[in-house]
Structure 1
Amino acid sequence: MSIVRANGLSVHVEQLRPPEVVSGVPGDGPTAVLIHGLATDNLASWYLSMAHPLAAAGLRVIMYDLRGHGKTERPPAGYTLDHFVDDLAALLAVLDVTGPVHLLGNSFGGTIAISYAARHPEQVAAIAAVESSPPTAAWFERVAKRLAAAAAQLPHEHVLARISAERGERASRRARTARDVLVTTSLAHDLPASRLPAEERIAAIRCPALWVYGGSSAVVELAPDVQRLLPHARIVTVPGQRHSILIDQPDTVGDIVLSWLRQDCGLQSGPVHAATGRDGRDQPPSPTTLY
């Protein structure tokens, strides 16, 4: 575990380096930054799904806990979209990442990724988003409703007890994590008040882009916004999957992302399958996301 100071915060960061056999030089090669979702999530969702396959394919992999999440510092206020984008920019500077990066975002992490690209297009080589949307008013309205409902319900013990009884202890732990974030920070207030990038700034993004959706997720309804703003983006829908597709089907998501990286982004690597890219040990499931 590594803690670095970025944008005035103590930020939890994990990194994986590509093996020498893939990249030629240990640690050499393109950089992928993996960004998780809100409230119930942390960097573990990427670490236990795509991080090792990406490193095995030749990328330097950087994961970090967003402000207020996981082991990163939790300030009481400061949770607009600009705060999250500023954190990412500061983190890359602290880690001395100078070349264009591949940004991968799960849920709201994808929104952070494309918002960073709208601000720093020259610093982004490609964007892959899972169950996400560009920063549109429609997406922020959905996120705001989910956050408001969770902030109103989760502080009540009887709600947590019902979640535990109906959905199991794992879901209860996720709910308690979300409660802690929402009760101790201004996230539910700040994020809906965010200043959104102008749509023309988003439409000006020209790097390769991939969006992956679960066919049974409500978020797939926002795919037309991706098509409208980023007509060059590749959109893949996996039938029968829900918002938690990254956790439920990591090998499927991994195969889609790695294939896209090779075909659309020119990644030069051997055929690394997501199922074999990790260390082979049984891993506990990671949290899913509120958004």
Structure 2
Amino acid sequence: MDWIIGLVVAGGSAMGLSWYLSGLREKPMTPDERAAHAPGKSVQLSDGVIHYSERGPTDGQAVVMVHGFGVPQFVFEQNAAALADTGFRVILFDHFGRGWSDRPNARYDTDFYDRELTELLDALNLTEPVGLVGYSMGGIIATDFAARHPERLTAIILLAPAGLAVYPFMGKLFGKIICMPVIGDWLWRLRGRSLLLGDPQFQEPLPDPARRIRGDDTIQMNYKGYFNALLQSWRNLPLENCDEVFADASRGVPMMALFGGKDPTISVESAARLKKAAPHARVELIEEGTHGLLYEMYDTVNPMLIEFLKANSR
């Protein structure tokens, strides 16, 4: 019996030590850090400070862009520039837990993200209906917002949205294990960084710099709370089988969705399911598109964004 107790104690000590060592390099996200390094502005919401930026004329039709799981607002750089040049007022922001925003220890579920987006619009005095663009995980966040608040939107555009078919990013087994308390937290703490950096989106295979993400998505990993925010989003935000939410949103707001034919993260099955759930939504399949279609194929995507937003402006 003593040896069993010894093994348990040794195992627990090893887990605790590895947990502690894995977080040694992480710094707190402080106002001073944000002031020194963040390129945009900040606004206080009930759950903390959100980092955001604006492009284009202040009197233009507002378009708010909602990024996905791990990469912050600069994932939209190529699209935001084109929209701003066309006369739209573009608002980008970092979700809580990402980029230069605060990292609250919270339940990152649909209510949390709805509150984040609602309070941001209110804080920026966006009282008139806006266009909403959601990418990947931001797709289900934007869609849920549209279903709840159709009166606040002129249109919704979804780029490779999560929330329909199976979302395989973590892998079936690993994705289930990290949902378990204690062991899941520990495993994610140890493996999260390497898993993210191993994702094709982080590896930037395209040689043309104009078609890559225009920002360093590893900087945010140096601040405490990033990995926990991702884990809590994975555990609490529904990323599959939300077909009815898409149906509800499309009934109240004009909807367009773009999918990539070569996307390993959001399969073409999602496009078929959206067509079935929301038959009057505009669903386009870009055959050569990957999960990074918004920046890798911006010259194909941007005209579609502009045309749809213009057709559905106030």
TM-score range, shorter chain: 0.7 to 0.9
1:155 aligns with 2:190: yes
Q: Are 2:259 and 2:286, in contact at CA under 8 Å, matched by a contact in 1? A: yes
The AA in structure 1 aligned to 2:175 is: A
1:91 aligns with 2:120: yes
Counterpart among 206, 209, 221 of residue 269 in structure 2: 221
Unaligned runs of 5+ in 2: 1-39, 179-186, 206-211
Distance change in 2, residues 1:7/1:60 (3 Å): same
Pairing of 1:142-291 with structure 2 (within 5 A): 142=168, 145=171, 148=175, 152=187, 155-156=190-191, 159=194, 163=198, 181-183=226-228, 186-192=232-238, 199=245, 202=248, 205-218=251-264, 219=266, 220-262=268-310, 264-265=311-312
- Paired residues, what number? 251
Q: Are 2:243 and 2:273, in contact at CA under 8 Å, matched by a contact in 1? A: no
TM-score (ref. length: structure 2): 0.68
Pairing of 1:132-147 with structure 2 (within 5 A): 132-133=161-162, 135-136=163-164, 138=165, 142=168, 145=171
**Higher radius of gyration, 1 or 2:** 2
Partner of 2:99: 70
SS, match of residue 155 in structure 1: helix
Partner deviation per Cα, 1:131-183 (whole Å, 9 max, x = no partner): 014x45x45x656757828964672499579949x958999x75786797334
Q: Are 1:103 and 1:124, in contact at CA under 8 Å, matched by a contact in 2? A: yes
Aligned partners of 1:239 and 1:177: how far apart in 2? 32
Q: Are 1:3 and 1:10, in contact at CA under 8 Å, matched by a contact in 2? A: yes
Unaligned runs of 5+ in 1: 19-26, 268-291
Distance change in 2, residues 1:93/1:174 (3 Å): closer
Q: Are 2:156 and 2:255, in contact at CA under 8 Å, matched by a contact in 1? A: yes
Distance change in 2, residues 1:225/1:57 (3 Å): same
Partner of 2:152: 123
Q: Are 1:81 and 1:195, in contact at CA under 8 Å, matched by a contact in 2? A: no
Q: Are 1:102 and 1:124, in contact at CA under 8 Å, matched by a contact in 2? A: yes
Partner of 1:34: 65
Aligned partners of 1:161 and 1:191: how far apart in 2? 18
Identity %: 27
Displacement of 1:225 after TM fit?
2.3
Partner of 1:51: 80
Q: Are 1:115 and 1:197, in contact at CA under 8 Å, matched by a contact in 2? A: no
Counterpart among 99, 113, 120 of residue 142 in structure 2: 113
The AA in structure 2 aligned to 1:254 is: N
The RMSD of aligned alpha carbons is 3.7
Runs of 4+ with >6 A deviation: 168-171, 193-197
Partner of 2:55: 16
Displacement of 1:104 after TM fit?
0.5
Distance change in 2, residues 1:190/1:144 (3 Å): farther
Aligned partners of 2:72 and 2:249: how far apart in 1? 29
1:61 aligns with 2:90: yes
The AA in structure 2 aligned to 1:206 is: G
Aligned partners of 2:196 and 2:69: how far apart in 1? 22
Displacement of 1:266 after TM fit?
5.3
Aligned partners of 1:210 and 1:194: how far apart in 2? 19
